[in-house]
């Protein structure tokens, strides 16, 4: 992990890889909640292309960057 950001890539089925950058500013409210919980939680949205994705197959692929 470089610096203070967490980066990962998500691909749904055979769709394009989508990169997520996750970082909090030091001592922000979000950072404080993450420390108290001992985990970081964030919702992300991803594009699912119906032309690329076949209804008969499904899968979620994740890679730490």
Residue-wise pLDDT tens digits, 24-34: 778 899 889 98
Q: Is residue 54 part of a domain?
A: yes
Q: Is residue 18 part of a domain?
A: yes
- Number of compact structural domains in the chain: 1
- Pick from 5, 1, 64, 2: which is nearest to 40 by CA? 5
Whether the predicted pLDDT of 2 surpasses 60: no
Q: Is residue 46 part of a domain?
A: yes
Instruction: Flag the least confident range among 1-5, 6-10, 14-18.
Output: 1-5
Q: Is residue 1 part of a domain?
A: no
Q: Which residues contact 31 (CB under 8 A, 6 or more apart)?
A: 24, 25
pLDDT of residue 52: 62
Q: Note the maximum CA span of the chain.
A: 46
Q: Is residue 21 part of a domain?
A: yes
Q: Which domain holds residue 49?
A: 6-64
Q: Which residues contact 1 (CB under 8 A, 6 or more apart)?
A: 7
Q: Is residue 34 part of a domain?
A: yes
């Amino acid at each position: 992990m470089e610096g203070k950001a967490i980066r990962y890539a998500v691909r749904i089925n055979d769709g394009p890889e989508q990169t997520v950058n996750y970082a909090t500013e030091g001592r922000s409210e979000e950072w404080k909640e993450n420390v108290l919980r001992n985990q970081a939680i964030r919702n992300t949205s991803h594009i699912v292309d119906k032309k690329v994705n076949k209804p008969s197959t499904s899968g979620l692929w994740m890679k730490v960057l």
